[in-house]
Each structure stands twice: as structure tokens, then as C-alpha cells.
Amino acid sequence: MDFAEKIETKRLVLERPKPVTFELAKEIYKVVDESRETLKVWLPWPEKVLQVEDEFIALYNYMDKRWEDKTGFAYLIRLKSTNEFLGVIDFVEIDEAKKVAEIGYWLGIYATGKGYMTEAVFALEAEAFKNGLHRVVIKNDTLNLKSANVAKNAGYHLDGVMREDRQDVQTGAFVNTNVWSKLASDK
């Protein structure tokens, strides 16, 4: 896979987080910290990123290393007009043999509800299809209506619901997951 390190849309810039610096970690950590209560409802990692140093390690070990290994490709989402950091979108998993990639994403609390993530999904799926992938998948907790709306607004098909396929990060209760997809032929 040869994904672009920088992708521009009408309002956004998606870019590889490079170079990994402490200043970049501080910028991301600020948004994570402001959005922690919302993020931790759906994601396991906000409870592990409790200081800037944790974000720096995550940037290096998760984002940068996976780019180098070509096992995952995370992009910082920035507002084109101000360069403000809004969130992250990434290929969480890529199966080259099956030509399938799964997109994951999160936005800071102040960036939600403005269509930014739908715009970012369109950009990332275009990159996937340009690289010869056949299918792009988005998964979300069935109760996470904002995430489901991103998939719907981006024209993804609800393939189905995986019943009690994982445990809730807060309660430990088993929860259901929506599986959405878009094929290269759908665009």
C-alpha cells in the first residue's frame, strides 16, 4: 500500500503525524483531555492517555511505527483554514489479501456535528480505492449514533449487527456492533 502522507479536502488536511515531537503530543493531548469524558464512552484508550508523555508514546508506538511497518495509517485531521487539530482518522486494519480496510476515527468534542468526519471518511476511502482496495468497513457500537451517522452520511451500507461481539469499555457488559461497508463499485 502506498498511501499519501497528506490528503486535502475542501475544509480539511489529513496528514501523517510526522515528525513525532513533544509539541505535537501536547497539541493532541489537549484535545483528548478536553474530550475525554465523551471519548471514553466509546474508546478504551482515553483512560490510558493521562499525560502528554502518554500521548507522545502513543504517537510514536501506534501512529508512527505502524506507518513505518505499513500495518496501519493514521492521519491527523486539521482544519485547513487555521491548522487547528480536530481529531484522528486511520486505517485500523488492512487485509491486502482480501482487499479490505477498516476505518476508525474520533473527533475532539468541539469539532463534532459539523460534517468534518464525513468529509475525512470520503477522503480516506478514496485513498483506499486508489490503492486497489475493494471494500472499506466502518464499525461502531450500535448506541454510538454520532458514529453511525458518519457512516450513513458517507453512503455506507449497513451490512448487519454483530450481536454482543465485544465488551463495553466502561461497564464490561457485552454490546452490539454495527458493520458498515462501501465497495469500490459503490462510488
Instruction: Please report the DSSP string for 138-153 in residue order.
Output: EEEETT-HHHHHHHHH
Looking at residue 186, its pLDDT comes to 92
Burial class (CB in 10 A: 0-12, 13-18, 19+), 171: exposed
Please state, in angstroms and rounded to a whole number, the distance separating the CA atoms of residues 8 and 50.
31
Residues of the chain with pLDDT under 50: none
Query: Any idea what DSSP says for residue 184?
Result: G
Looking at residue 95, its pLDDT comes to 92
Question: Is 167:161 a contact under the CB 8 Å cutoff?
Answer: no
Closest among 75, 161, 160 to 119, alpha carbons compared: 75
Looking at residue 1, its pLDDT comes to 74
Looking at residue 5, its pLDDT comes to 93
Please state, in angstroms and rounded to a whole number, the distance separating the CA atoms of residues 71 and 94.
7
Looking at residue 66, its pLDDT comes to 84
Helix (H, G, I), strand (E, B) or coil at 132: coil
Looking at residue 74, its pLDDT comes to 93
Say which residue the cell 458493520 belongs to.
Answer: 179
Domains of the chain with CATH codes = 6-186 (3.40.630.30)
